[in-house]
Amino acid sequence: MEAKTENLYNHVDFLTSIFPYRNYKNIDSLQKTATYIEKRLKEMGLPTARQKWEAKGNIYENVIATYQPQKSKRFIIGAHYDVYKEIAGADDNASSVAGLLEISRMLAESSLTLDYGIDFVFFCLEEPPFFKTDKMGSYIHAKSIAKTNKNYIGMIALEMIGYYRENKIKDENNSFHKNQLIVSGIKRFDLFNRKISQLLKANGTMDSRRISFAEHYPNNGPSDHRNYWQFNIPAVMVIGTGGEGNPNYHTATDTIETLDFEIMTNAVSSIANALFNIEG
C-alpha cells in the first residue's frame, strides 16, 4: 500500500483555501473543515462520529473514525485541523490532516485484518489560546476514553509532515542523511518511542530518530500527544524534518507552495506501514 501524492495535494489545497482561516474564532470555517473530513471518511466506508464540547462560549468538535470498532484492543492516531491566528496553515497542520485522511483511505481499501482496532481522530483546538488547557480537543478525547473497557496500546499525533529541507550534513560514510521523521515523547514510554521510530524506518523510504524527554522538561509535549500521558497511554508526536526549523512556522508564509509533496508521500507511506504493524 502506497500513499497517493494527488490525494495529499488535493486535501491540503482544499483546507488552505478555506477563508476565513481555520482558527478558533472562525466557527463556520472549522465547521466546513469538519464536514469535509467527515465526508471523506464516510466515502471510505468508515464509521464516524463527532465529539462536541464548549469553550469560550462556542461549540467545537473532534471528528472520529473507527476501523475494526469491535476490537477492544485499540490504537489512536490523530492530527489537529485548527490553525494559529490568521494563516493558511499548510504545514501546520493541513499536511497532517491530509496524511491522516490518506492513511484512513489506504487502510479502508486494504481491508487488513489487524489484532487491534484503530481510531482516527481529527482534533480541534490544539493551537493557542487553548494549548496546554483542558479545552484541547485531544484532552477532551483522552479523558473520554480513560474510563472505558478498551485497551489503548498507544497513540501517534501527526504534526507538520509536509515541509522538508535538504540536509547537507554528511554522516561517517560520507553520505547525505535521508529526510527524517522525528519521534518525540517522554522517557517513561521510551520503549514505545523506540518501537515507533524503528517501524517508521522499516518502510525504507524515510529515516527516523527519536527524542525521549524527561517527564518535567518544559516543552516535552508540543502537540496533542501530551494529553494521553496522564491517562497512562503511551503517545508520541511524529513530525517532519522541518519541525521548528520550518521558517514558515506560525507565519503567513505557511502556504501550500512551500510543501514537498514527493517527500510527504514517502512520509505518509512510512507512517501507514508503522501504524499497520504495531504488533507485527
pLDDT tens readout for residues 139-190: 999 999 998 999 999 999 999 999 997 655 555 555 555 689 999 999 999 9
What is the pLDDT, as a whole number, of residue 6?
Answer: 98
Confidence at residue 170, expressed as pLDDT on a 0 to 100 scale: 53
Rounded distance between C-alpha atoms, residue 259 and residue 182, angstroms: 17
SS3 sequence, the chain?
Answer: CCCCHHHHHHHHHHHHHCCCCCCCCCHHHHHHHHHHHHHHHHHCCCCEEEEEEEECCEEEEEEEEEECCCCCEEEEEEEECCCCCCCCCHHHHHHHHHHHHHHHHHHHHHCCCCCCEEEEEEECCCCCCCCCCCCCHHHHHHHHHCCCCCEEEEEEEEECCCCCCCCCCECCCCCECCCEEEEEEEHHHHHHHHHHHHHHHHCCCCEEEEEEECCCCCCCCCCCCHHHHCCCCCEEEEEECCHHHCCCCCCCCCCHHHCCHHHHHHHHHHHHHHHCCCCC
Q: What percent of the chain clears pLDDT 70, i.e. is strictly above it?
A: 94
Encode pLDDT of 16-30 as tens digits: 999 999 999 999 999
pLDDT of residue 177: 56
Could you say which architecture CATH assigns to the domain 5-275? 3-Layer(aba) Sandwich (3.40)
What is the pTM (predicted TM-score) of this model?
0.95
The distance of Cα 71 from the centroid of its chain, to the nearest Å, equals 22
- Residue-wise pLDDT for 59-110, tens only, equals 999 999 999 999 999 999 999 999 999 999 999 999 999 999 999 999 999 9
Residue 26 is which amino acid?
N
Task: Compute CA 50 distance to the chain's CA centroid, rounded to the nearest angstrom.
Answer: 17
How far apart (Å, rounded) are the C-alpha atoms in residues 18 and 101? 17
Cis peptide bond prior to 129, omega within 30° of 0: yes
Q: What are the residues whose beta carbons fall under 8 Å from the beta carbon of 172, sequence distance 6 or more?
A: none
pLDDT tens digits for 182-216? 999 999 999 999 999 999 999 888 999 999 999 88
Confidence tier at 244 by pLDDT (50, 70, 90): low
Domain boundaries, the chain: 5-275
